[in-house]
Amino acid sequence: MTGSTIAAISTPHAEGGIAVIRISGDKALEIADKVFHTVSGKMPSEMNGYTCAYGYAVKDENAIDEGVLTVFRAPKSYTGEDVAEISCHGGIYVSRKILRAIIESGAEPAQAGEFTKRAFQNGKLSLTEAEAVMDVISAASERELRFARSLQEGAVYRRIKNIIDKIVEILGSLAAWADYPEDDIPEVEPEILKVNLCALQNELLKTIKTGDYGRIIKEGVSAVIIGRPNVGKSTLFNLLSGCDRSIVTDIAGTTRDVVEERVRLGDAVLRLWDTAGLRETEDIIEQIGVNIAKERLERADLVLAVFDASEQLSDTDIKLLSDLKDKRTIAIINKLDKSLDNDLKERLEGEFERCIGMSAKEGTGLDELREAIEEMFYKGEVTPEMGILSNERQLSCARAAENSINEAIDAIDAGINLDAVTVLLDEAAEELMNLTGERVSEKVVEDVFSRFCVGK
């Protein structure tokens, strides 16, 4: 257990119906005795775990506010330590005054994420489970919450632990064969070892690929609206944003910079970019906007390619078709309120898997667009129970482990002594243990929990 006793307000620092001040550590109940008087007269330190008492938070024996004290006894608490929580009226001044009384009675102010950090240090959570706590807090949709909850319940830990166990099993076979050659231990055959390592490599690659889905779940789909000038890109952007974020005129080249907005379309969350119309121009400022649009096109998860329903494909449109060959694209035939060139519709349906007719001006076609995006990004084979990597730290560890496995396979192919393979497998296991937090440096731990809010 950690030596000091810490305290913080664990609810948002704003006016509300209730505020909770949390105390955790060896002296949590001793401090609670000083700052909370129960109506029954029972001291907090005499209370059993998972019990509550009504009374008054006090300072110098003077009542600050009425409230409820809840006691949790180690190790059956969130942090694994003795914990006392005071629930009082949700005023900013009153909650801070109670916290000040607690600190003056011997507690130290908690640092960002320190309660969850102690839960990790005391074995209550793995590092991946601890990271998921903030994902639960920041979840903005039912889907985000389901995936965050699965991470918090150990889905990623179990997935990575399964890979670690397989590596350790192989290491055990290598060690036994090398250390006890005189015993009747089967020789490790390089061909069989390679088969086993290739299976591990495949499992790691599948795990790494979940990181893209994890990023989309947390951040949304990065989507760029692309097309030549005056096809209705800014009108579509405003429709999806629910407000007039982009200027709309009939003058080509009106949009010169990238306008960004986070929007929700059904269950889909989009980080949406409106861009300058693609065309050759001598206007220096507009050309900068066109260049930025092309750069955004390369980075986007999804391209919404907009075409004018009433016109045939221009040279710029045809070049765009070529540029989008390897991109996840939804073709939008816009301005259906005017007319539809059937040759255009037939051509685009032959080029793209998903082609939707819309009138951004009239607001039609949104349901079809929503269904297409959900089908592309949210209805795959990925489920919360699989355990998806949810941040760059986890991805970095998984990539490093996969790289070590690759090198081990190369070493076998090159006929290098199996001692080198053992070293590389040790490195792979070490990286994966860093991922789960079983072996992780204090620097990494500090970095992870520095992203938490105070009081969590």
- Taking the C-alpha atoms of residue 274 and residue 238, their distance in angstroms, rounded to an integer, is 9
Superfamily (CATH H level) for 142-215+387-437: tRNA modification GTPase MnmE domain 2 (1.20.120.430)
H/E segment holding residue 85: strand 83-90
What is the reported pLDDT for 138? 78
pLDDT at 286 over 60: no
pLDDT, the chain, mean: 84
pLDDT at 244 over 60: no
- Taking the C-alpha atoms of residue 91 and residue 94, their distance in angstroms, rounded to an integer, is 5
What is the per-residue DSSP string for 125-151?
S-HHHHHHHHHHHH--SHHHHHHHHHH
pLDDT at 225 over 70: yes
pLDDT at 245 over 70: no
Where in the chain are the domains?
6-124, 142-215+387-437, 220-359
Domain range 220-359, CATH class: alpha beta
- Cβ(24)–Cβ(5) below 8 Å: yes
| Nearest one of 87, 14, 84, 94 to 59, comparing CA atoms | 94
Q: What's the mean pLDDT in 166-179? A: 78
What is the reported pLDDT for 380? 63
Q: What's the pLDDT tens digit per position in 68-94?
A: 999 999 999 999 999 999 999 999 999
- What is the torsional sign of CA 12, 15, 19, 24? positive
- Taking the C-alpha atoms of residue 427 and residue 411, their distance in angstroms, rounded to an integer, is 14
What is the reported pLDDT for 178? 55
Q: What's the mean pLDDT in 28-40? A: 97
- Cβ(231)–Cβ(348) below 8 Å: no
Please give the angle made by the CA atoms of 350, 352 and 354, to the nearest 5 degrees. Answer: 115
pTM above 0.85, yes or no: no
pLDDT at 279 over 60: no
The matching CATH number, chosen from 3.30.1360.120, 3.40.250.10, 3.40.640.10, 3.40.630.30, for 6-124 is 3.30.1360.120
Give 440 or 205, the one with higher predicted confidence: 205
Tokens of 47: 């209370």
pLDDT at 161 over 50: yes
* Fold matches, 6-124 and 142-215+387-437: no
What is the reported pLDDT for 176? 67
